[in-house]
Structures are given as C-alpha cells and as structure tokens.
Amino acid sequence: MVIYMCSVGESYGVDIDDDIPTKKYMCNKCGNKFKGMGRNVSCPGCQSKDVNEQK
C-alpha cells in the first residue's frame, strides 16, 4: 500500500467551494502553487508571505 503524502492537488481534504472567492497564488520562495483567500495570504508550504497572485 502506497500512501502519497503530496500536499499539492485536489486531495488535500479541504473542499473549496465555488461560492468562496479564492485566488490562485504562487510562492516566490519555494514555487508552491496554492489557492488562497483574504489579504494576508501565506504559503502553506513554507509560510512565506512572498507570494504572487496568478491571473
């Protein structure tokens, strides 16, 4: 049995509803791509706030 520990993807355990305005971000520090909301978005991978919003 193989357990994938990858935190990137849809199987993160959090269902992001379309009702919630989320934006896509990419971390400038580690290159992690993630969805975030609000003003103070920080990277879930390295906790850096040095993130870019993706258009």
Least distance from C-beta 48 to Zn ion, angstroms? 5
Cβ 17 to Zn ion, closest distance in Å? 24
Q: Which of residues 1-55 bind Zn ion (CB under 5 A)?
A: 27, 29-30, 32, 43, 45-46, 48
Burial of 34 (0-12, 13-18, 19+ CB in 10 A): buried
Please report how close the Cβ of residue 13 comes to Zn ion at its closest, in angstroms.
19
CA–CA gap between residue 24 and residue 14 (Å, rounded) = 15
CB within 8 Å of 49: residues ≥ 6 apart:
40, 41, 42, 43
Residues that bind Zn ion (CB under 5 A): 27, 29-30, 32, 43, 45-46, 48
